[in-house]
Amino acid sequence: MEEEGATTVSSRVLAQRVGTTAAQVRKDLSLFGTFGTRGLGYEVRSLRERLREILGLAQEWPIALIGAGRIGSALFEYPNLRRRGFEIVTILDRDPRKIGRSWDGVRIRSIDEVGEVIERLRIKVALVAVPASEAQGVVDRLVGCGIRGILNLAPARLRVPDGVTVNEVDLALELEVISYALGARGTVPGEIRQDVTSDP
Amino acid sequence: MEEEGATTVSSRVLAQRVGTTAAQVRKDLSLFGTFGTRGLGYEVRSLRERLREILGLAQEWPIALIGAGRIGSALFEYPNLRRRGFEIVTILDRDPRKIGRSWDGVRIRSIDEVGEVIERLRIKVALVAVPASEAQGVVDRLVGCGIRGILNLAPARLRVPDGVTVNEVDLALELEVISYALGARGTVPGEIRQDVTSDP
């Protein structure tokens, strides 16, 4: 909206943009303090700044990418991570054939350098894109080196100590959300169907 | 659990496995009908079958992958999609240098063949991994050909008609969940901090 030249915005318009209600927008924002002026709405620029602070985006986050395979490569190329404040500053792998190569100027290093690199570059967040069987071992090492936030793309459930945040992207689960939605529209048999129609 | 040899399971054990409460497990399952026997728990095998039906996984879902770039390639290689009932049966792209190649026996076809392929292979679900600027155009075409469910990995908000399900994976958003969690633990300034500490 700032790029579009807007200086103020109402909760109603914000709600339309994100697919919720004006009341929900006001309630959500109120959790973080006082925003906007009754009848005048929100000042776009200051709202944007406050939201960036709340989301922890007032700073840039240097990111370690663990795993230089296909998924790692796709993550590295993923558009607009940098624009949104996340920059992959190091890539770590255990494959000697990959170590020493560079992607767009970022050198792939040995996972054995993880402690040194994370400390030197003050990295707190890692993207994990290793095979599922290796994920827990990699994560234990990362946590031991001071990593506090992990986005996991390996299809493995991870255990981390308190104080470490893990977020998982499981693409099969995301597809199940869709197959469930399609199934609920008529291809599911018997008992279920009675729950979603008014037909006795 | 079935692979581990269990024949019955309690809501308490199920809750532990997924990180929720026994009451929530019972409540969630009750939305879909009658499951289990009070005091005896759930019969593992039949619960599994019922959950598969509910999730629309009693059938296999043939999937069209749109976009044979890095993200598409990572999706194609993503482990255990097939084991969970999703099989990428066609790959479509618009780049003449990619059309005609094969990935693991699946030929990359021109996006112009989309209507014919989707009808012949009875595909209802597509994975969209094209540049953001092309995503809406591609999705309009898919919907026009009968696609009912879309998992979108392009960083673009998509408009679809009623009756079509879209699920989006936005990796920058997933990283923001982490930066928010880390920020809320002490690096966020002033007003916010007062909300999360008891310090006046």
Query: Could you give the percent of chain A with pLDDT greater than 70?
Result: 92
Q: Which amino acid is at A152?
A: N
Decide yes or no: CATH 1.10.10.10 for domain A8-54.
yes
> What per-residue confidence (pLDDT) applies to A184?
61
3-state secondary structure of B152: strand
> What per-residue confidence (pLDDT) applies to A197?
32
* Region(s) of chain A under CATH 3.40.50.720: 61-169
H or E element, residue A128:
strand A125-128
Residue B200: is its pLDDT beyond 60?
Answer: no
Query: Could you give the percent of chain B with pLDDT greater than 70?
Result: 92
> What does the CA dihedral B19, A147, A170, B73 come to, rounded to 10 degrees?
-170
CA angle A44, A46, A49 (to 5 degrees): 110
> What per-residue confidence (pLDDT) applies to A142?
97
Mean pLDDT of chain A, nearest integer: 86
- Alpha-carbon distance A84 to A90, whole Å? 18
Residue A188: is its pLDDT beyond 70?
Answer: no
* Region(s) of chain B under CATH 3.40.50.720: 61-173
Look up the CATH architecture of domain A61-169.
3-Layer(aba) Sandwich (3.40)
> What per-residue confidence (pLDDT) applies to A96?
97
Whole-prediction pTM value?
A: 0.76
> What per-residue confidence (pLDDT) applies to B84?
84
For residue B45, how many C-alpha atoms fall within 13 Å in the half-sphere facing its CB? 3
Alpha-carbon gap: A192 to the closest alpha carbon of chain B (Å): 6
> What per-residue confidence (pLDDT) applies to A54?
87
Q: Which amino acid is at B15?
A: A
> What per-residue confidence (pLDDT) applies to A52?
86
Question: At a CB cut-off of 8 Å and minimum separation 6, what does B144 contact?
Answer: B115
Q: If you average pLDDT over each of A142-151, A177-186, B75-84, B153-162, which comes out highest?
A: A142-151
Closest partner CB to A56 (pick from B33, B149, B180): B180
> What per-residue confidence (pLDDT) applies to A32?
85
Closest partner CB to A155 (pick from B71, B79, B85): B79
Structure tokens of B52? 């598969």
ipTM: 0.77
* Region(s) of chain A under CATH 1.10.10.10: 8-54
Are residues A81 and B177, on separate chains, in Cβ contact within 8 Å?
Answer: no
Model confidence pLDDT, tens digit, residues B132-187: 899 999 999 999 999 999 999 987 889 999 999 999 998 888 999 899 888 765 44
> H/E/C letters for each residue in B101-122?
CEECCEEEEEHHHHHHHHHHCC
> What per-residue confidence (pLDDT) applies to A190?
35
Comparing alpha-carbon positions, the chain A residue that sits nearest to B84 is: A172
Closest partner CB to A53 (pick from B85, B150, B192): B192
> What per-residue confidence (pLDDT) applies to A94?
96
> What per-residue confidence (pLDDT) applies to B99?
97
Alpha-carbon gap: A152 to the closest alpha carbon of chain B (Å): 10
Residue B193: is its pLDDT beyond 80?
Answer: no
> What per-residue confidence (pLDDT) applies to A186?
45
Are residues A178 and B131, on separate chains, in Cβ contact within 8 Å?
Answer: no
Closest partner CB to B78 (pick from A165, A171, A188): A171
Are residues A70 and B77, on separate chains, in Cβ contact within 8 Å?
Answer: yes
Are residues B57 and A188, on separate chains, in Cβ contact within 8 Å?
Answer: no
User: Which residues from A are below 8 Å from B59, CB to CB?
Assistant: 187
Closest by CA position to A92, among listed A143, A55, A129, A144 = A129
Model confidence pLDDT, tens digit, residues A42-84: 999 999 988 888 888 888 899 999 999 988 998 998 877 888 8
Mutate to test the interface with B, among A59, A78, A194 (most CBs of B within 10 A): A78
Residue A175: is its pLDDT beyond 50?
Answer: yes
Residue with more model confidence, A186 or A92: A92
- Alpha-carbon distance A37 to A10, whole Å? 10
> What per-residue confidence (pLDDT) applies to B184?
61
User: Which residues from B are below 8 Å from A55, CB to CB?
Assistant: 176, 179-180, 183
Are residues B183 and A56, on separate chains, in Cβ contact within 8 Å?
Answer: yes
Cβ–Cβ under 8 Å, residues B29 and B53 = no
Residue range B61-173 forms a domain whose CATH class is: alpha beta
Model confidence pLDDT, tens digit, residues B107-116: 999 999 999 9
